[in-house]
């Protein structure tokens, strides 16, 4: 079986050579280091990508991914604020990105960049080395798959503006699956072009409300994916006429016990690969009409589910 | 109800309507999609064989002078009197046999949100268990359940009940992280405020394990429903993801609480409602962390009709509020609202965190869950 090693996110490491044992113990074998330190790290047995700090910061900077609650509301909605970068990878699949990550945020960033197959370099806090190593080891267990096309409900005509970017951000966080398109596509259920009569730019001034409007237009029933049991798990979906691959990223700070997924389409039963748990049975699997539902028993940071389309 | 049956109760709620307190006459009721593979029983537990009938048993001696300690012997007498007056039997075991068979698996739905002062009293729960065992149930056929284990740990029913009684909770804490003990095949789906997770699932214990449920709510005020009575206790105490119905001073409990109670198999399995009014709370509910708003009705109510009990409960709570010069639970004045800082509500009984919707009880009657017309409710009061 082939694995995804060639897509593993790259760790930018500014620590001295004396930190090599810690990296090795964590299973981190490939790093980006300053050019003048590259030879020393190669001699220490690492696969090295020489990279100056300026080269790193010339890349597009991403947010440390995660979620924060909204304290202070006596009757809070329970919907936390999610910082996610999936829309950036989706908008610019050939882009070069980097993360500058505070302590405790690296593991999710590793998973995120891998889920979106992004070219990302991650500057991490040394305290996170062991956990990052575990996530990288998990990524190596994910079977290789051909470059499956992105599955989306919505086409967003991208004019390159910040406003459209913010719309993409909100759509992504709400699991309203989109893909950037140059012109409206009849293959998609909905096409959004800001500045048109249907979608005036003023309507996008509040991206959150705009995303709700799009959701109402699309309807929940028609959405390719719904996620129940969490407001902080974000999906990426790829596939063709034979199979799909579903990536699930948990932006919250703790595991969810029993996240329920509903997919449009009829699929055969399979298993999930879940970080920290390995192969996991899909619980309460059910085909209901033209939809398929199942639960992930323990939703840690990252899960990958390959499902065959039923004939 | 057939699986995936679609129930359209009234007009749809626009998602953007969340930030205006609706007038009572113009509430929007969301589209509810109710999904359950379970059919209604031939004789559903709600409203049961005694619609509109409520037995009240009072005792001045059920609490000590401080109100802190419950007299278990008096509670046992109150329970016996209440059950026999409800059914008309001479032997209390015959009364219990009308609702429970020896082969049943019984869930006792407690309410522990009002810990430490206003919870389903362990003495009342224990007397229920004693009666169930007297008609042949084994301890392992009896469950005490709530949604959150952290609350059950505080209440600590284990210290009083016989060994072998099952203590069950669906979630560890109120953090929306534990979903596996909810049934993915039984849920009510609706969008209230544009939330992403639009489902509320029934506890698996209810749908898959229990055959009968005894509901033991308290006489409590509630910031959203007006009262935490029978309906609220089995609805929001048996389904996931229900707090989403409140936001920015507005609540959809008016329709959602009764709608959840209509869901099978819950409605068919709830056969008895015993309102624990030994102590009550007239403000700050569903919580009662201090005695500031605690009062002492010193009574238990018995019946099968949750609507009738809750209708009477509204007047009990409102009368107590009136006695303290607090605004009525029916007050819809937006000036009373402070949904930013819940502590202000705790300090001042004239502050609301939500405009309460006690008329959910009348809506429940419209859905056939019982009798809300005070002229038709038959309250019989006894004192021992």
Nearest-Cα distance to chain B for A45, in Å, is 42
Beta bridge partners of A263: A225, A292
Instruction: Choose the closest CB to B247 out of A75, A209, A257.
Output: A75
Among A113, A140, A167, the domain-final residue is A140
> A6 exposed, middle or buried (CB, 10 Å; 0-12, 13-18, 19+)?
exposed
Compute the distance between CA of residue B118 and CA of residue B111 in angstroms, rounded to an integer.
9
Q: What is the pLDDT of residue B342?
A: 84
Q: Residue A288: which CATH number?
A: 2.60.40.1180
Q: Is residue B19 part of a domain?
A: no
Do A81 and A173 lie in a common domain? no
Q: What is the pLDDT of residue A69?
A: 64
Strands (DSSP E) along A91-177, which ranges?
Answer: 96-100, 119-123, 154-157
- DSSP secondary structure of A228-256: ES-SSEEEEEEE-SSEEEEEEEE-SSS-E
State whether B195 and A215 contact (CB < 8 Å).
Answer: no
Cβ–Cβ < 8 Å for B202, B186:
yes
State whether B198 and A220 contact (CB < 8 Å).
Answer: yes
Q: Is residue B156 part of a domain?
A: yes
Q: Is residue B29 part of a domain?
A: no
Q: Is residue B212 part of a domain?
A: yes
Q: What is the pLDDT of residue A56?
A: 96
Q: B-chain residues within 8 Å CB-CB of A258?
A: 178-182
Q: Is residue B39 part of a domain?
A: no
Do A187 and A245 lie in a common domain? no
State whether A73 and B340 contact (CB < 8 Å).
Answer: yes
- Could you identify the residue written with the tokens 């305290």? A127
Q: What is the mean pLDDT of residues A19-44?
A: 96
Q: What is the pLDDT of residue B11?
A: 29
Could you tell me if A258 lies within 8 Å of chain B, comparing CB atoms? yes
Could you tell me if A79 lies within 8 Å of chain B, comparing CB atoms? yes
The pTM of the full predicted model, rounded to 2 decimals, is 0.93
Q: What is the mean pLDDT of residues A153-157?
A: 98
CB pairs under 8 A between A and B: 91
Prediction ipTM score: 0.91
Compute the distance between CA of residue A279 and CA of residue B56 in angstroms, rounded to an integer.
56
Q: Is residue B64 part of a domain?
A: yes
Domain of residue B127, residue span: 45-183+203-383
Do A28 and A113 lie in a common domain? yes
Both tokens assigned to A96: 């070069």
Q: Is residue A146 part of a domain?
A: no
Q: What is the pLDDT of residue A242?
A: 95
The pLDDT tens digits of the residues spanning A123-148 come to: 999 999 999 999 999 999 999 877 89
Number of domains in chain A: 3
Average pLDDT along chain A = 93
Collapsing DSSP states into helix, strand and coil, what is residue B183? Answer: strand
Mutation site for A-interface testing, chosen from B18, B149, B193, B194 by largest number of A Cβ within 10 Å? B194
Q: Is residue B254 part of a domain?
A: yes
Do A192 and A136 lie in a common domain? no
Q: Which residues of chain B have pLDDT under 50?
A: 1-19
Do A199 and A214 lie in a common domain? yes
Q: Is residue A203 part of a domain?
A: yes
Do A9 and A71 lie in a common domain? yes
Do A244 and A119 lie in a common domain? no
Do A207 and A85 lie in a common domain? no
Q: Is residue A147 part of a domain?
A: no
Do A186 and A303 lie in a common domain? no
Q: What is the pLDDT of residue A7?
A: 65
Domain of residue A90, residue span: 5-140
Q: Is residue B268 part of a domain?
A: yes
Q: What is the mean pLDDT of residues A48-77?
A: 80
Number of domains in chain B: 1
Do A134 and A56 lie in a common domain? yes
The pLDDT tens digits of the residues spanning B292-310 come to: 999 999 999 999 999 999 9
Q: Is residue A145 part of a domain?
A: no
Among A89, A110, A140, the domain-final residue is A140
Q: Is residue A133 part of a domain?
A: yes
């Amino acid at each position: 079986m082939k694995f995804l090693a060639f897509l593993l996110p790259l760790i930018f490491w500014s620590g001295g050579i004396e930190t090599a044992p810690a990296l090795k113990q964590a299973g981190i074998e490939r790093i980006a280091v300053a050019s003048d330190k590259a030879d020393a790290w190669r001699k220490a047995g690492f696969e090295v990508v020489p990279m100056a700090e300026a080269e790193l910061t010339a890349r597009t900077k991403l947010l440390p991914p995660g979620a924060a609650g909204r304290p202070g509301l006596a009757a809070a909605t329970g919907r936390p604020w999610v910082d996610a970068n999936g829309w950036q990878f989706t908008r610019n699949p050939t882009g070069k990105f980097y993360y500058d990550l505070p302590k405790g945020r690296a593991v999710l960033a590793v998973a995120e960049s891998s889920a979106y197959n992004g070219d990302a370099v991650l500057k991490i806090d040394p305290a996170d080395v062991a956990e990052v190593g575990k996530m990288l080891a998990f990524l190596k267990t994910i079977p290789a798959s051909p470059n499956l096309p992105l599955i989306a409900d919505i086409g967003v005509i991208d004019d390159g503006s910040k406003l459209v970017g913010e719309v993409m951000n909100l759509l992504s966080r709400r699991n309203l699956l989109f893909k950037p398109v140059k012109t409206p596509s009849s293959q998609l259920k909905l096409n959004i072009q800001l500045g048109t009569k249907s979608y005036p730019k003023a309507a996008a001034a509040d991206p959150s409300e705009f995303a709700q409007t799009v959701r109402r237009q699309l309807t929940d029933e028609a959405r390719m994916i719904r996620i129940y049991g969490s407001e902080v798990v974000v999906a990426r979906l790829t596939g063709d006429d034979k199979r799909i691959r579903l990536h699930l990223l948990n932006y919250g700070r703790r595991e969810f016990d029993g996240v329920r997924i509903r997919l449009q389409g009829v699929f055969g039963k399979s298993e999930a690969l879940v970080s920290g748990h390995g192969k996991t049975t899909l619980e309460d699997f059910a085909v209901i009409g033209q939809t398929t539902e199942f639960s992930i028993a323990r939703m840690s940071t990252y899960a990958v589910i390959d499902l065959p389309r039923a004939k | 109800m057939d699986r995936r049956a679609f129930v359209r109760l009234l007009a749809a709620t626009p998602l953007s309507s969340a930030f205006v307190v609706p007038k009572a006459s113009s509430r929007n009721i969301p589209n509810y999609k109710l999904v359950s593979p379970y059919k209604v029983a031939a004789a559903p537990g709600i409203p049961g064989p005694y619609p509109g009938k409520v037995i009240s048993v009072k005792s001045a001696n059920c609490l000590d002078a401080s109100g802190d300690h419950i007299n278990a012997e008096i509670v046992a007498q109150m329970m016996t009197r209440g059950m026999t007056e409800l059914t008309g039997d001479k032997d209390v075991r015959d009364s219990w046999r009308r609702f429970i068979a020896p082969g049943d698996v019984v869930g006792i739905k407690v309410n522990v949100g009002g810990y430490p002062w206003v919870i389903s009293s362990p003495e009342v729960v224990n007397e229920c268990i004693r009666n169930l065992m007297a008609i042949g149930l084994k301890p392992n056929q009896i469950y005490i359940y709530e949604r959150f284990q952290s609350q059950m740990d505080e209440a600590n029913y284990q210290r009083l009940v016989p060994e072998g009684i099952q203590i069950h909770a669906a979630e560890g804490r109120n953090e929306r992280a534990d979903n596996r003990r909810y049934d993915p095949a039984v849920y009510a789906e609706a969008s209230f405020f544009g939330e992403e997770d639009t489902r509320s699932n029934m506890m698996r214990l209810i749908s898959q394990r229990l055959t009968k449920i005894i509901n033991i709510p308290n006489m409590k005020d509630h910031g959203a429903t007006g009262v935490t009575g029978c309906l609220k206790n089995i609805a929001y105490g048996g389904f996931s993801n229900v707090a989403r119905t409140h936001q920015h001073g507005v609540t959809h409990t008016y329709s959602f609480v009764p709608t959840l109670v209509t869901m099978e198999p819950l409605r068919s399995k709830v056969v008895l409602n015993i309102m624990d009014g030994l102590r009550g709370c007239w403000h700050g509910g569903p919580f009662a962390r201090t005695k500031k708003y605690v009062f002492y009705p010193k009574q238990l109510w018995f019946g099968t009709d949750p609507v009738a009990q809750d209708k009477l409960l509204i007047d009990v709570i409102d009368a107590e509020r009136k006695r303290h010069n607090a605004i009525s639970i029916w007050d819809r004045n937006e000036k009373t609202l402070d949904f930013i800082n819940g502590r202000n509500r705790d300090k001042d009984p004239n502050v609301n965190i939500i405009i309460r919707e006690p008329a959910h009880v009348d809506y429940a009657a419209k859905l056939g869950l019982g009798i809300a017309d005070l002229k038709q409710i038959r309250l019989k009061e006894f004192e021992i």
